[in-house]
């Protein structure tokens, strides 16, 4: 394969990777919400939201440090369920934003 052929292929593969990352991110955020409902009361569910997933890190927006603290107590269980549902260890950690 010569350099010109390789250049023609590269953008397509980069686009595919970007699209896959977006799909994975949306799927992880959806799964977080689905599994979090099993662990938290409605008050906690109403005061946080999974907003982003990138490079193994799920970002959770919370309304207060108390909500983040409550989520901390169950995050490993929820991450485990998400990874099991995805079939591989995609989610590594969680980051909180207020």
pLDDT in tens, 47-77: 999 999 998 999 999 999 999 999 999 999 9
Task: Show the beta-strand stretches assigned E in the chain.
Answer: 48-54, 57-62, 93-97
Q: Provide the token pair at 72.
A: 């901390």
Domains annotated on the chain, with CATH? 3-97 (3.30.300.180)
Could you tell me the pTM of the whole model?
A: 0.77
What is the pLDDT confidence band of residue 88, given thresholds at 50, 70 and 90? confident
Mean pLDDT of the chain: 85
- Mean per-residue pLDDT for 6-14? 57
Provide the pLDDT for residue 92. Answer: 94
């Amino acid at each position: 394969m010569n350099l010109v052929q390789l250049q023609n292929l590269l953008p397509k593969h980069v686009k595919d990777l970007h699209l896959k990352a977006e799909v994975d991110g949306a799927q992880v955020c959806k799964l977080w919400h689905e599994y979090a409902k099993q662990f938290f009361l409605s008050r906690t569910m109403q005061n946080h939201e999974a907003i982003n997933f990138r490079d193994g890190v799920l970002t959770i927006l919370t309304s207060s440090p108390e909500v983040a603290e409550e989520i901390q107590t169950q995050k490993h269980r929820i991450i485990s369920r998400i990874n099991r549902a995805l079939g591989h260890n995609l989610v590594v950690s969680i980051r909180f934003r207020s």
